[in-house]
A and B are shown apart, each in its own frame.
Chain A
Amino acid sequence: MNRVGQSLFGAQGIEAARERWQHEFAAGARQPGPTLNRSGIPIKPLYTPEDWSGAQYMEQLGFPGEYPNTRGIYPTMYRGRSWSQRQLIGLGTPEDYNQRVKELMGLGASALSLIPCNSVFRGYDADEVPPELLGTCGTVVNSVDDMALAFDGVPLGEMSTALNDPAPFTLLAFALAVARRRGVDWNRITGTSNQSDCISHFVANHMFFRLALQGARRVVTDHIAFVNQHVRQWNPLSIVGQHMQQAGATPAEAMAFTLCSGIQYAEDCLARGMDPDQFLPRFTFFFDISISLFEEVAKFRAGRRVWARLCRERFGAKDPRSWRFKFHGQTSGVDLTRQQPLNNISRVTVQAMAGIFGGLQSLHTDGYDEVFTVPTQQAARIAVATQNILREEAQLTDVIDPLGGSWYVESLTEQMEQKINAIIELVDAAGGMYAAVEAGLVQKMIGESALAFQTRVDAGEQTIVGVNKYQIAEDAQDYPAPQYPDRNRMAAHLRRLAEFKARRSQAAVDRALDDLARAANSKTDNTFAQVVGAAEAGATHGEICATLRRELGFGQPLTIV
């Protein structure tokens, strides 16, 4: 018997007591056997010091801000500063976006995000695509002028901005060009290149620019190198587990695959001779938070520990800042239901709690109506209020890592860690994440998990309130009306794009795009430096993407059923 158990219960006491309880429990319980969580870990009805003794406290947990960071990456955590409330925004034209941003700044927002239109995600300008799809899921930003309009009145040196900006990172290039016009020092700009993890797009989300995987790999490493040198407070990389979990990966799989991607990006930087203590502090992560509360808490705590160990032991980082697992969390849209949509407010609350107990640095809470549409203003306000209520009314931030030391949570954290490490070994054996993705290994595992979950829902083994249990007859008029951008404003935006193209120096644009193509074909030039050059010369997003697609290959999604 361990020391903690002895001191609490006496050497023989706990075993005899456990047997007594087991007898009573087996006689009375409706479900005496273990249940499975979403990651397939058997969950017992009761945890005691026999499951987690605390004897390894210093090795496994330690103190917040200390290796291996299990309890949090900063000594102060939310007692120092709250997580950032970073709600996703992006709709319509750059002016529509700017209007919304000014409203939010008026309400005291200190961090912004910019979600571009899906046409931008796919690498096209607004004049290349069916107009019905423009601005319906994000803002149409195609040039430096569009970005200047979107960020009109936004102090770029003070406001942290998260740009949803996969390779080749044109949005950051446009933002840097705007900063130069305004005389803002690039090293004062803070924020993150979200969605910069090309692997996750190939595996799950497919919102990338159709650069072939190896081309995207080259561009992302160039981007990290450039930003580390010239935009030193910017986070060039956000490694994404969210796509994979939304696509059906279990929480353990999502964490494991994300860390595998992190390993590849870090090893690519190391292979270029970059210093881990320079690039690792600028790596960030982005995860989905499902409603499986304890499992999510264990996922984040285990992930933090595994990453700290990888950084120190595998990548050789010496600076404690390099070991920090900084992450943004988004409440899971997949858990939300179209049926009885107001119930989603409860779901988002539980998901947000899981993220907060998990120690996140930044949080997006979904609007309850995201199953129907881009959030309405009412839903967006409730989502923000949910964060404020949890922080300031429920006082969830009083204690650092409040679930730490729970026999259940610590035992679950260890089991999550084992599952994560087993998958990392599997992917390492397959030759790393790029090779595993190219072989379809990762997609196959995620696809199987997605189907298994849906089968459990259909069989009623996994309850979803209002969907497979507790259904009520509903009035379809409860559903919010879709919000689409104003057609006249979008038409005006298309005219402005045409004017922009007519007004710029075509010779300068051609030269910049040639330089970009040359950089792509050279082994040593930095492609992102040329993307920035092209943005400043007036090249559009579509032109930059088309150039790189031509030179680095056209990517097809690697999906399998």
Chain B
Amino acid sequence: MRKRPPRVIVTKIGFDGHDRGSRVIAACLRDAGMEVIYTPPWQEIPTVVKLAMEEDADVIGISSLATDHLIVPRLMKALREAGLQDIQVIVGGIVPAEDEQQLLQAGVARVFHPGAALEEIVKEVRQLAQKRHERKEVQA
């Protein structure tokens, strides 16, 4: 199988519209050579699941600055129900420490907090995409 660059959805679910973080991350991953599918804020969870399926995304990045991370467990459940549990989900933004534990337990691969370096995020996304490809190959 021909190897393609990591394919990443950068999105926001819930009600918050502050999108500086998601735009900067999307531009940075794009500049790092990845295939980025960027959406505007306020996506519904079923829309994100459908997009992930249609685009064969490796990683979904959720940006949350105003408590929208509280519905990320709903997204994780929806991905599992759609058989997409191999897709890696990362969350970036304002996530209190207590809530981070809950997100990790719900299956989120990594939470990035304010101040995370772009370089570190790029590295993590590459590794997660690689991990997903390996899992897919094992499954195949």
A-side interface residues toward B, CB under 8 Å?
118-119, 121-122, 129-130, 132-133, 136-137, 201, 204-208, 246-248, 334, 337-339, 371-373, 447, 450-451, 454-455, 458, 464, 466-468, 476, 479-482, 484, 556-557, 559, 561
Stretch of B17-25, B46-54, B131-139 contacting A (4+ beta carbons < 8 Å):
B17-25
Bound-state Cα–Cα, A129 to B45, Å: 12
Q: How far is the CB of A347 from chain B (nearest CB, A)?
A: 13
14 contacts between A and B (CB under 8 A): A121-B15, A121-B17, A133-B68, A136-B67, A137-B16, A201-B17, A247-B20, A339-B115, A371-B114, A372-B94, A480-B96, A482-B96, A482-B99, A556-B40
B80 at the interface (CB under 8 A from A): no
Contact of A450 among B20, B70, B115 (CB under 8 A): B20
Bound-state Cα–Cα, A254 to B74, Å: 37
B-side interface residues toward A, CB under 8 Å?
14-20, 23-24, 26-28, 30, 36, 38, 40-42, 66-68, 70-71, 74, 94, 96-99, 113-115, 117-119
Q: How far is the CB of A549 from chain B (nearest CB, A)?
A: 13
Residues from chain A with a CB closer than 8 A to the CB of B30 are 561
A contacts with B: majority SS: loop
A482 touches B98 (CB 8 A): yes
Residues from chain B with a CB closer than 8 A to the CB of A476 are 97
B23 touches A133 (CB 8 A): no
A205 touches B71 (CB 8 A): no
Q: How far is the CB of A554 from chain B (nearest CB, A)?
A: 12
B66 touches A118 (CB 8 A): yes
Known pairs A247-B20, A561-B23; A133 contacts B70 (CB<8 A): yes
The 5 closest A-B pairs by CB, nearest first: A206-B17, A118-B15, A136-B67, A482-B96, A557-B40
B23 touches A447 (CB 8 A): yes
A247 (CB) vs chain B CBs: closest residue: B20
Q: How far is the CB of A366 from chain B (nearest CB, A)?
A: 13
B42 (CB) vs chain A CBs: closest residue: A122
Q: A206-B42, A246-B20 are in contact. List 17 more A-B contacts (CB 8 A).
A: A118-B16, A118-B66, A133-B14, A133-B70, A137-B66, A137-B67, A204-B20, A207-B17, A247-B19, A373-B94, A447-B23, A447-B24, A458-B117, A476-B97, A482-B96, A561-B23, A561-B30
Residues from chain B with a CB closer than 8 A to the CB of A458 are 117-119
Contact of A451 among B17, B24, B67 (CB under 8 A): B24
B71 touches A133 (CB 8 A): yes
Residues from chain A with a CB closer than 8 A to the CB of B99 are 482
Which of B20, B30, B96, B114 has most chain A Cβ within 10 Å?
Answer: B20
Residues from chain B with a CB closer than 8 A to the CB of A247 are 18-20, 23
Q: How far is the CB of B104 from chain A (nearest CB, A)?
A: 14
A248 (CB) vs chain B CBs: closest residue: B20
Q: How far is the CB of A372 from chain B (nearest CB, A)?
A: 6
Which of A247, A334, A464 has most chain B Cβ within 10 Å?
Answer: A247
Q: How far is the CB of B139 from chain A (nearest CB, A)?
A: 32
Which of A450, A466, A468, A556 has most chain B Cβ within 10 Å?
Answer: A450
B18 touches A246 (CB 8 A): yes
Contact of A338 among B40, B67, B71, B113 (CB under 8 A): B113
B96 touches A479 (CB 8 A): yes
A136 touches B115 (CB 8 A): no
Q: How far is the CB of A522 from chain B (nearest CB, A)?
A: 30
Bound-state Cα–Cα, A248 to B26, Å: 15
Known pairs A122-B15, A133-B15; A373 contacts B24 (CB<8 A): no
Known pairs A476-B97, A561-B23; A464 contacts B115 (CB<8 A): yes
A337 touches B114 (CB 8 A): yes
B20 (CB) vs chain A CBs: closest residue: A247
A338 touches B118 (CB 8 A): no
Q: How far is the CB of A201 from chain B (nearest CB, A)?
A: 7
Q: How far is the CB of B84 from chain A (nearest CB, A)?
A: 20
Bound-state Cα–Cα, A247 to B24, Å: 10
Q: How far is the CB of B7 from chain A (nearest CB, A)?
A: 15
Q: How far is the CB of A102 from chain B (nearest CB, A)?
A: 25
A118 touches B14 (CB 8 A): yes
A373 touches B14 (CB 8 A): no
Residues from chain A with a CB closer than 8 A to the CB of B14 are 118, 130, 133
Q: How far is the CB of A466 from chain B (nearest CB, A)?
A: 8
Q: How far is the CB of B116 from chain A (nearest CB, A)?
A: 9
Q: How far is the CB of A411 from chain B (nearest CB, A)?
A: 31
Residues from chain A with a CB closer than 8 A to the CB of B19 are 204, 206, 247, 557, 559
Bound-state Cα–Cα, A129 to B67, Å: 14
Bound-state Cα–Cα, A484 to B118, Å: 30
Which of B16, B113, B119 has most chain A Cβ within 10 Å?
Answer: B16
Contact of B71 among A132, A372, A481 (CB under 8 A): A132
A336 (CB) vs chain B CBs: closest residue: B114
Known pairs A133-B70, A454-B24; A479 contacts B97 (CB<8 A): yes
Residues from chain B with a CB closer than 8 A to the CB of A556 are 40
Contact of A481 among B98, B113, B117 (CB under 8 A): B98
